[in-house]
Amino acid sequence: MEAGVGVATAYPGTPSSEIIGTLERYAHELGVYVEWSVNEKVAFETAWAAAISGVRALTAMKHVGLNVASDALMSSAYTGVSEGFVIVSADDPSMWSSQNEQDNRLYGLISYIPVFEPENPWEAKELTKKLFDISSETRHPVILRTTTRVSHARGPVRVGELRKIRVKGSFKPEPRYVLVPSNARVNRIDLLKRWSNIKNVVENLEFNKIYGDGKVVIISPSTSFSYVYETIYKSDLINKVKLIKLSSVYPLPENFILNNISDAEKIIVIEELEPFVEMQLRDLLNRNNIKISLLSKPYEYRAFELSIGRVREILEKILGASLIKEVSISRIEDKPRIPPRPPVFCAGCPYRPLFFELKRILAKERIKAVISGDIGCYSLAYYDPFNMQHTIVEMGGSIGLGNGFSTVLEDTVTISIIGDSTFFHAGIPALINSVYNRHPQIIIVLDNMTTAMTGHQPSPSKPKEERYIRIEKLAESVGVRYVATIDPFDTEEFRKSFLEALKVVREEREVALIVARRKCALVAYWDMLRDSVEIIPYTIDHSKCVGCGICYNLFACPAIYADKNRKAIIDPELCIGCGSCVVSCPFNAIKPIKPVDQEILKKYWF
Ligand SMILES: Cc1ncc(C[n+]2csc(CCOP(=O)(O)OP(=O)(O)O)c2C)c(N)n1
């Protein structure tokens, strides 16, 4: 807001989602256009178009999101921009919430887009503001790369003047926006010229800083710097080593570094993940024929986050234990132990009865199936007691891999399972492929009308000003042979549809798609609380319960547990009155504590 951003777009993904989520709250008041786009590529393109039309723009995504947007990223360096364009890549070392821990600084290298890293919340704000200016001045996009520790940290910031926000721009047609080969070649030369300008700009970046002095120089990018600083400070080494903190990691501020290493005996680079700064530094020393020894962190430290403890280990290994005094770190072991809890579907989650029934159908009908799963809350079905996904690779990968499985696996039914947001994000092209190239698979779209896993951002199936997109209509329009819509709580209906779909896949060798639609339980619950609707919990009739354990072991709602005689008990504090567990009991022992008005429930759950 202080930089005057006019258009901000994103597709959610931890640890990036809070950026647009926060801006969204003030968007209306400030007149900023904020959008949750359908995927990262679309988010990128929307913001990029604004920036080439003279409107300051920001797009934010998690690290793997930049893979989805990477085609656009590459071209954006060729077109350049006419106003500031900041691309936020929120990386996730240690994979707290991700399928890999790729180091997106490397994207700078391949795309010729400069990469900057903030150290803490204060710097994240100030640096972002600065990057808008750098991008405007150099007419080039920039990447702000954060990591989970920075993204999820809280710290004081000083709020500055808000800049006037411009949301409307103008587009001046120029050949550089038309990347046919003849123009792209001109752009390539122009890109290299802009790059040499960017190299000059980073030399004077005030966020690159020097601390302490000594013949040992430690160079560390901002996202790792805090660990290094604290380790050195606590080891009383602050006056024996010189620390160079880098916020501009690509390109490096070469002269700034050269000036500060002139009397160094040793240089150590400490950075999380890949030796990205180190590689560039080796090249810098080589080119300048400088013979200072450059020491790397041991190979195994490429994986996972750094910490004060790990930085100390690295320094001990490189410098010898004697130099490093015992650093006092509060260890996890000192903290109170929290009982381990397996990851489970929430009470009331519509996915539970669906996976429960699917498991029953596959067992009863003796169906050999490969279950091609996807990324979302439903990924939890991989765990006990459901064990219902054989692959989970990347968003949209369910139907995508399903195309291949159904081609090469004999006597095996391919079942692809995907959520609504993931379907819109990357499932549609894979669906079209499976229809056009005839890959018979049963696709189950779990439509809870939200992007639940990342914090309930909108999905196109959630009504927005009465506008929404119906997955079944889309499937019909591309020629899916069998389309059905069911309520996942209605296990009978699901079983019927599934068996019909199975026939289509087996006998007609065509694609079948089932939309299982019911609101995310948390959304329904919050709406009921907001409207002060009474939640009527369920209970167990112990005269009927035989202690078979199906409800707490196989249906596995966290609100149900066993007493010492193995009989089930429902915790009224955790039960949200959904009633989905009723179908799990062969003895009809589960019932509400008083009559439930189904009409009221319908209003909140659909
Ligand atoms: C390329 C990419 N972008 C974003 C994410 C983060 N992410 C994980 S699951 C998910 C969407 C989940 O929504 P949906 O498919 O509707 O399932 P739900 O969580 O609602 O069950 C997102 C955005 C990711 N893993 N990969």
**Closest C-alpha to 600, from 515, 539, 540, 532:** 532
Nearest residue (by CA) to ligand 1, atom 10, is 376
Verify cis geometry, omega within 30 degrees of 0, for the bond prior to 15: yes
Give how far the C-alpha of residue 336 lies from the chain's centroid of Cα atoms, to the nearest Å.
29
**Per-residue pLDDT, 54:** 98
Asked if residue 238 lies in contact with residue 196, where contact means CB atoms within 8 angstroms, the answer is: no
Mean pLDDT to the nearest integer, 299-314: 94
Confidence class of residue 333 from pLDDT cuts 50, 70 and 90? low
If you measure from the C-alpha of residue 13 to the centroid of ligand 1, how many angstroms do you get, rounded to a whole number?
7
Phi/psi zone of residue 320: left (φ > 0), alpha (ψ -120 to 50 degrees), beta?
left
Three-state SS at 217: strand
One-letter identity of residue 426: A
Q: What would the mean pLDDT of 345-370 be, rounded to a whole number?
A: 98
pLDDT value at position 337?
76
Query: Which pLDDT score is estimated for 541?
Result: 97
Angle subtended at Cα 525 by Cα 521 and Cα 527, rounded to the nearest 5 degrees: 120
Do the Cβ atoms of 47 and 32 come closer than 8 Å? no
pLDDT band at residue 601 using 50, 70 and 90 as cut-offs: confident
Question: Ligand 1 center to residue 110 CA distance, Å?
Answer: 26
pLDDT at 334: 63
**Cis omega before residue 350 (within 30°)?**
no
Mean pLDDT, the chain, whole residue set: 95
CA angle, residues 254, 214, 264, in degrees to nearest 5: 45
Span 384-400, mean pLDDT? 97
Within 6 Å (CB) of ligand 1, which residues are found?
A: 11-13, 62, 64-65, 68, 375-378, 395, 419-422, 448, 450-454, 459
Residue type, 238: I
Q: Under a CB-based contact definition with an 8 Å cutoff, are residues 23 and 29 in contact?
A: no
Task: Determine which of 38-52, 75-89, 117-131, 308-322 has the lowest per-residue pLDDT on average.
Answer: 308-322
CA distances from 400 to 40, 387, 392, 434, 442 (A): 18, 21, 11, 8, 13
pLDDT at 236: 79
Token output for 358: 């699917």
Does 342 score more than 60 pLDDT? yes
What atom of ligand 1 comes closest to residue 450's alpha carbon? Answer: 20
Mutate to test the pocket of ligand 1, among 382, 395, 448 (most ligand atoms within 8 A of CB): 395
DSSP 8-state secondary structure symbol assigned to residue 152: T
pLDDT of 329 above 70: no
Mean pLDDT of 570-588: 96
Dist. CA 34 → ligand 1 center (Å): 19
Question: First-to-last CA distance in the chain?
Answer: 37
What integer is the mean pLDDT of 200-225? 96
The mean pLDDT value for 225-248 works out to 90
Closest Cα to atom 6, ligand 1: which residue? 13
Name the more confident of 6 and 463: 6
Output the six-digit token pair for 387.
Answer: 């064990």
Is the pLDDT reported for residue 454 higher than 70?
Answer: yes
The average pLDDT across 251-264 equals 97
Q: Residue 540 pLDDT more than 80? A: yes
State in Å: Cα 161 to ligand 1 middle.
Answer: 36
The number of the ligand 1 atom at minimal distance from the alpha carbon of 98 is: 25
Please give the sequence-ordered ranges of beta strands (E in DSSP) within 314-456, or none if there are none.
369-372, 413-419, 442-447
pLDDT tens figures, 480-531: 999 999 999 999 999 999 999 999 999 999 999 999 999 999 999 999 999 9
Q: What percent of the chain has a predicted confidence (pLDDT) above 70?
A: 98
- Nearest residue by C-alpha to atom 9 in ligand 1: 376
Which of 162, 167, 175, 174 minimizes the C-alpha distance to 54? 167
Structure confidence at residue 465 as a pLDDT band (50, 70, 90):
confident
DSSP secondary structure letter of residue 262: T
pLDDT above 70 (res 269):
yes
Alpha-carbon gap, residue 35 to 49, rounded angstroms: 14
Tell me the best of 349, 375, 520 to mutate to test the pocket of ligand 1, counting ligand atoms within 8 Å of each CB and taking the most. Answer: 375
What's residue 338's pLDDT?
78
Tell me what percent of the chain is helix, strand and coil, each rounded to the nearest 5: 40, 15, 40
Range scoring the smallest mean pLDDT among 338-347, 368-377, 435-444: 338-347
Nearest to 6 by CA among 81, 72, 111, 73: 81
Is the per-residue pLDDT at 330 higher than 60? no
The pLDDT value given to residue 332: 55
Q: How far is the C-alpha of 568 from the C-alpha of 536, rounded, in Å?
A: 18
| Residue 237, φ and ψ in degrees, nearest 5 | -100, 0
